Amino acid sequence: MTLAKNDPQATGLSHTTPVGAATQREAQATPPLTMQISGKLSGRGTRLPQQKDIKLDPELQEQLTALFQHGQYQQAATQCAELLNSHRKSAFLWELLGRCHLAQTALDEAATCLNKACELNPTSATTFAAMGDVYRLQNRSEDAVALYRKALALDSTCLPALNNLGNTLLDQDRIIEADQCFANAIDQAPDNAQLLYNRANIQRQLGNLGIARDLYGQAARFAPGFLEARYNLAQLTGMAGDRVEAIRNLEQILLARPNDDRARAQKLRLMADLCDWRWLDEYQDHRRHLGLRGSACAPQAQIGLEDNPDLLRIRMQAHASAGLQADPAPQRPRAETRPQQLRVGYFVSSAQDLDALRLLDSLLARHDQSRFSLYVYTASAPRADLVGVLHRDIRGLSPTTIKTQAVADQLDIAIDLTSYTHEADATVFSARIAPVQVAMPGFPGTMGTPTYDYILGDAITCPPGSERYFEEHLIRLPHSYLSISGPQDLSGHQFSRRDCGLPDEAFVFCSFTASHAVTPREFDIWMRLLTKIDGSVLWLADYAEEAQAALRTAAGDRSVDPSRLIFAAPCTGEERMARSMVADLFLDSFTLNAGPAARDALVAGLPVLTMAGRQFAARTTASLLAAADMEELVTTTPQAYEARAQTLAGDRDQLMALRSKLRLMQSKAPLFDTARYMQDLERGLDIVFARHCDALPPQHVAVPAEDPLPKPPVDRFSHGKVAVPPIHAA
């Protein structure tokens, strides 16, 4: 969610409260708290008070007020100063002059004038509210709160006081009190779009996405040109599953702002979710500048646009520079030796990131707590089963407060498990909360900022020569950047093909990759395979109805009976893993690999065929297969991918041999050895912290395997010389 610019469509014309508009952020990240209202608030207690001063013409008061409301602060201030020579006891003139100084951030002058106005008219709620605004901008938050409360004691409906009291309470992470302030303000002005937007931001931060979506919708309805509200509405509408309506809102933004890259990138992603492949042509029309100008684009909307890690790094740098700014935390003296217990903090800033939470559970269960003191920062309640782990609940907290807590914990290493996924961002890490900061790729690519010293990878996801794709330094683990559990007891979830709506005797290709990862490149190959393998079917995930219809139409256009595409019923967790066992071969996607779906398939014993691409996200499955000693399932060209799939589909014995080998590898390969993975990770953390202790800068690190003579990293899935499309900067 983003801060809104001062939008007259949202708030009217008169500037009744001060504004400190923040840098615009892409709205996919952690929702900022709110913005200060700048503009007229409809309702009581919002206009400058008309003074009963017979010496000051009421018409003149109206003229001066109009100048102020239209932003002509200097002209209004000049006239007020001249009039004060003959009207020294006019509270109206002192207040208006103070507001003009406030609007121009001349805070000392504003305070002098507003104090005089308070003396002359101690019953004016708006004057005390304006004085509170001065104190707030001077970082005197407690004094500001006292003045806002004084204003509300004089007039409980004073909207500027309610609004900016809410803002100030948010600065102090008193989010529930702030929400009540905005709720009270909305009671007085139910059609004020800015107030609705502000409260929507709070509800979003609290995780009440449905309430937030409704409030954004009301704000957009009352102020159709309030584009920030409309963008946030589009985001939450898309997250709720109504992608068609979300696209409609984004198209309205693009009509008003054709160069709004943030809205266009989000629209392209939603079109990809619906398998509306017109997004590819629209992307080519805007590729030259997309993500490199204006407001920051969502990382998750950018990573799937093309497999071009050079271009991705430039776009991620633009994203980071647009928003990852925070006051640096005070740094404690550098440690000269490793403490007996290294303090490691794991951050999962989104309760919706279930993949990161599962990874966190795996890490905590296997850490050597005699050598590592563990801290966990999650947007969830503390858990009793985390023995020996210090848990910090960060729900509803601002990045500043989270930073303060992390600094107080004196972490040696901070590890971000969420990165740019879900409702999370990297603002906390931009403050430098630990001497060593590491990104574990929840977002499979560079974070675009030197805020992170290292990113975790391996020799497959990050082969030699790929260093230039990353703003961070690489920690290359010896086997894979990730580990997964071995065979699980799925006896409670037994599925037959008939249970899954699949034909008993057909060859079943399956791909449970996300719908936005499916493009004509993969789909053309899949349809040719169905044509060549008699009676075969393609089993896909439970995509949105629009995506299913689009893929069936695409199949028909390729002379394939649409009924040979079978979409799985919705399910979760172990059920999804268990039903994978009834398929014959999992087909991976290219630019964005299947991620968790591929991991589930390997745990279920289902062979996964992949094509190793160039960017991190296009090589994750190759990494898993290499660590599982299943490299025969890794290809490097579309032609080899198609040929290998056809061979396996036509040779049941070879396919069964692969399944048997995968079952064997589940008990011996590094991929499934979570204890070994934890030892590798801990060695990596020791290495990078030792560099810090030696006052050495970060550098790329290859963590040695347990073997005494580890081999240097080699790209075993190289494309050779790949023609790289030109990169155009804005």
The answer to whether residues 41 and 119 belong to one domain is: yes
Q: 42 with 56, same domain? A: yes
Q: What pLDDT digit, counting tens, does each position of 657-675 carry?
A: 999 999 999 999 999 999 9
pLDDT of residue 40 exceeding 50, the answer is: no
User: Are the C-beta atoms of residues 367 and 675 closer than 8 Å to each other?
Assistant: no
Q: Are the CB atoms for 628 and 481 separated by under 8 Å?
A: no
In this prediction, residue 424 carries a pLDDT of 52
The Cα 270–Cα 238 span in angstroms is 7
Q: 552: how many CB neighbours lie within 10 A of its CB?
A: 18
Number of domains the chain contains: 4
State yes or no: pLDDT of 386 exceeds 90.
no
pLDDT, tens digit (0-9, with 9 covering 90-100), for 465-516: 999 999 999 999 999 999 887 666 665 678 889 999 999 999 999 999 999 9
Mean pLDDT of 81-95: 92
CATH number at residue 619: 3.40.50.2000
Residue 37 reports pLDDT greater than 60 = no
What does the pLDDT read at residue 35?
A: 34
Distance, CA of 232 to chain centre: 13
Which strands form 537-540's sheet, in the order they lie side by side? 565-567, 537-540, 508-511, 585-587, 608-611, 634-635
Domain shared by 36 and 165, yes or no:
yes
Taking alpha carbons only, the member of 377, 376, 408, 374 closest to residue 388 is 374
- The identity of residue 146, as a single letter, is A
* One domain, residues 297 and 211: no
Is residue 637 domain-shared with residue 556, that is, in the same domain? yes
Position 331 confidence tier, pLDDT thresholds 50, 70, 90:
confident
Query: Alpha-carbon distance 323 to 339, whole Å?
Result: 34
Residue 299 has pLDDT above 70, yes or no: yes
What does the pLDDT average to over 427-440?
Answer: 90
What is the mean pLDDT of the segment spanning 374-391?
85
Residue 437 burial by CB count (10 A; 0-12/13-18/19+): exposed, middle or buried?
buried
Confidence of residue 164 (pLDDT cuts 50, 70, 90): very high
The pLDDT of residue 121: 93
| Predicted confidence (pLDDT) per residue in 530-567, tens digit | 999 999 999 999 999 999 999 999 999 999 999 999 99
Mean pLDDT over residues 96-100, rounded?
95
pLDDT averaged over every residue in the chain: 87
Residues 370 and 443 placed together within one structural domain of the fold: yes
Residue 211: which pLDDT band, with cuts at 50, 70 and 90? very high
Q: How confident is the model at residue 322 (pLDDT cuts 50, 70, 90)?
A: confident
Q: Which two tokens stand for residue 724?
A: 């790289």
Q: What is the pLDDT of residues 213-267, one digit of tens each?
A: 999 999 999 999 999 999 999 999 999 999 999 999 999 999 999 999 999 999 9
**Residue at which a domain ends, from 210, 239, 268:** 239
184 in a structural domain? yes
The band of 714, judged by pLDDT with boundaries at 50, 70 and 90, is: low
As beta bridge partners, residue 439 has 416, 455
User: What CATH number did the domain enclosing 354 receive?
Assistant: 3.40.50.11380
Picking from 649, 599, 651, the residue whose alpha carbon sits closest to that of residue 625 is 599
In the sheet where 454-458 sits, what is the strand order? Answer: 389-393, 372-378, 342-348, 413-416, 436-439, 454-458, 473-477, 701-702
Q: Which domain holds residue 212?
A: 8-239
Dihedral over alpha carbons 516, 518, 519, 523 (to 10 degrees): -160
Task: Please name the residue that has the structure tokens 């520079």.
Answer: 321
Q: If DSSP codes are grouped into helix, strand and coil, which group holds residue 439?
A: strand
Out of 88-97, 345-354, 499-508, pick the least confident: 345-354
Q: What is the tens place of the pLDDT at every residue in 577-622?
A: 888 899 999 999 999 999 999 999 999 999 999 999 999 999 999 9
DSSP 511: E
**Looking at the structure, do residues 294 and 352 belong to the same domain, yes or no?**
no
In this predicted structure, the answer to whether residue 43 has a pLDDT above a threshold of 80 is: no
> Among the listed ranges 248-252, 261-265, 314-318, 378-382, which one has the minimum average pLDDT value?
378-382
Query: Is 64 found in the same domain as 157?
Result: yes
Q: How confident is the model at residue 294 (pLDDT cuts 50, 70, 90)?
A: confident
Break the chain down into helix, strand, coil percent, rounded to 5: 50, 10, 45
DSSP 8-state symbol, 702: E
CATH of the domain at 215: 1.25.40.10
Digit-coded pLDDT (tens) for 125-156 = 999 999 999 999 999 999 999 999 999 999 99
Residue indicated by tokens 């290809």: 635
Q: Give the model's pLDDT for residue 489.
A: 63
Instruction: Reduce the DSSP state of residue 347 to 3 states and report it.
Output: strand
10 Å Cβ neighbour count for 721? 6
pLDDT band at 428 (very low <50, low <70, confident <90, very high): confident
Whether residue 490 is contained in a domain is answered as no
The predicted pLDDT at position 347 comes to 92
Instruction: Report pLDDT for 718.
Output: 66
- In the beta sheet, which residues pair with residue 456? 475
Percent of the chain with pLDDT over 90: 70
pLDDT at 679 over 60: yes
Query: Is the same domain home to 545 and 684?
Result: no
d(CA 90, CA 680): 74
Query: Is there a single domain that holds both residue 287 and residue 432?
Result: no
Give the C-alpha separation, 285 to 724, whole Å.
18
Say what the pLDDT of residue 550 is: 98
Q: Which of 600, 619, 592, 616 is nearest to 516 (CA)?
A: 592
Shared domain check, 641 and 543 = yes
CA distances from residue 339 to 332, 369, 377, 689 in whole angstroms, order as listed: 15, 13, 22, 10
Which residue matches tokens 């050895």?
673
Residue 36: predicted pLDDT: 36
Of 25 and 606, the one with more pLDDT: 606
Helical H segments across 504-637, by residue range: 520-532, 545-557, 573-579, 596-603, 620-627
Q: Return the pLDDT at 721.
A: 44
Q: 153 in a domain, yes or no? A: yes
| In 309-396, alpha helices (H) | 309-323, 354-366
pLDDT in the model for residue 356 = 81
Same-domain check for residues 417 and 514? no
CA distances from 239 to 209, 236, 423, 455 (A): 9, 5, 11, 28
Give percent of the chain with pLDDT exceeding 70: 86
Tokens at residue 117, please?
Answer: 């106005």
The predicted structure's pLDDT at residue 557: 98
